[in-house]
Amino acid sequence: MTVAPHFQFQNDTLHAEQLALNRLADEFGTPLYVYSRQALRDAWESYRVAGEGRKLLVCYGMKANSNLAVLQEFARLGTGFDIVSGGELARVIAAGGDPGKVVFSGVGKQVWEIEAALQAGVKCFNIESEAELERVAQVAARLNRIAPISLRVNPDVDARTHPYISTGLKDNKFGVPIEDAPRIYARAQQLPSLNIVGVDCHIGSQITEVSPYLDALDKLIKLILTLKDQGVDLHHLDLGGGLGIRYTDETLITPTDLLSKVFVALDAHGLGHLEIVLEPGRSMVGNAGVLLTRVEYLKHGETKNFAIIDAAMNDLIRPTLYDAWHSVEAVQPRAVTADTPKYDLVGPICESGDWLARDRQLALEQGDLLAIMSAGAYAFTMASQYNTRPRAAEVLVDGDQVHVIRPRETLDSLFASERLLP
C-alpha cells in the first residue's frame, strides 16, 4: 500500500492530516483535489536543512502546482520561484512572493513578458537561445534597465527519466549546447544592457539518482573555470530541479544526498563562494496532494473490468500523457482476496485514452470513494475543461481545518466569456 506520509488510515478511513477524506468528499463533492499544508512545509524544510550554512536559494518550480495558496505558503517560508511565463510572474506577485527571488526560465519569452519581468525586478533571466539573448538586451535597453542574465546550458546528460520530462539532452529544445556557452557569454559581455550573474542547467524531472547531476556538475565546473579565464565572474550556479518522488516503490534521493556532494565538488575547485539555486517542483508538492473520485458504475467485461469514475483525463492527464503510475487507495477499503477482480479506472470523457489507472485489484462497489495518490504535482495545473467539464475544486487541509483554495467551476463560468453571433 503506497500512501504519502500525510495521508494515512485512521479507524479504517483514509485521512488528510486529521480530516477524513470521505467527509471532505461529502462536503465539497468530487472530483476534488486535497492538499496537506504540513506536507508543503516538510518538503520545504528538507531543502532548508540540506543547504544549512551555505548560500542556497530554493526557487519553487511553480508549473508543478500554481494555486495561489500554495505559492503563498512557500513565499511565507522564504522560497523564490522558477517561472516560465508572464502569467506565472503575475501569480507570484498576487501570492505575495518576492520578484527579486524569481528566475525566469522558458524557451519562448515574449516581449511583454520580458518587459513585465524587468519592471518587477526579477533575480535572473535564464536565457535559452542566442536569439533570446539579443531580444532581452534590446528590451532592457529600450526600458533603460539592466537585465540580470544566466545562460541555460545543455550538458547532454541523460537523466534516465521519461523522454517527455528529459531536458538535458542534445535533442531537447531547452538551453544551448554547453560547448557554445563561452562564445555566447562573450557576446553577452558586449551588450551593456545585460549583467551576467550566473549559469543555469536543468536535466530533467523525476530523477532518482545523484549521478546524472554530478555528471552535469562536472561539465558545469569546467565551464565556470573557462568563463573565469575570459573575465566572467559568476554569482550563482543554478542546478535546476528534478528530484523525484515516490509513486510506487522508487528509491529516492534527498536534497541532502544531492547538495552534500555538490558542495564537496565546488569546494574542491575553489567555487564554494557561489550561491546555489535549485528549482524543485514535483518534490515540493507531488506527495502533498490526492485526487478524490467516486465510482459511478462498475462494468464487467469478458477481457476487462472497468470502474467508471467521475474524475477523468481532463482532471489528471499524467497517466494518458506519460503513461504515469499513480497509486489508488479506497478511502474505506474492503478486504482484497485472490478472487477480487482487477479494474481499469476510466473517466466519462469520450476518448479511449481517458484512464487514470489500469489493472488495479480493488474490492469495489458503486458509489465507493477512491483517492488517486501523489497528485499534487502536474495535476490540476495541466487540467482542462474538455467535454465542457468544470475543473475540480481544490482544498487545503491544515491539521483539523480545511480551506477552500479554489471553488469548483460552475457550468455557466465555462462559457461566460464566449459570444453568440448576431
> Is residue 154 a contact partner of residue 170, using CB atoms and an 8 Å limit?
yes
Instruction: Say how far residue 180 (Cα) sits from the centre of its chain.
Output: 29
The three cell numbers of residue 98 are 518576492
SS3 category, 155: coil
The C-alpha atoms of residue 330 and residue 288 are separated, in whole angstroms, by 18
Catalytic residue among 59, 124, 201, 350: 350
In sequence order, the β-bridge partners of residue 10 are 13
Q: CA 159 → CA 94, 238, 261, 271, distances in Å?
A: 34, 16, 17, 24
The three cell numbers of residue 143 are 526600458
The three cell numbers of residue 31 are 472530483
The C-alpha atoms of residue 50 and residue 32 are separated, in whole angstroms, by 33
SS3 category, 138: helix
Q: Cis ω on the peptide bond leading into residue 31 (within 30° of 0)?
A: yes
* Phi-psi group of 141: left, alpha or beta (phi > 0 → left; psi -120 to 50 → alpha; rest → beta): alpha
**350 has catalytic annotation:** yes
Q: Which residues are known to be catalytic?
A: 350
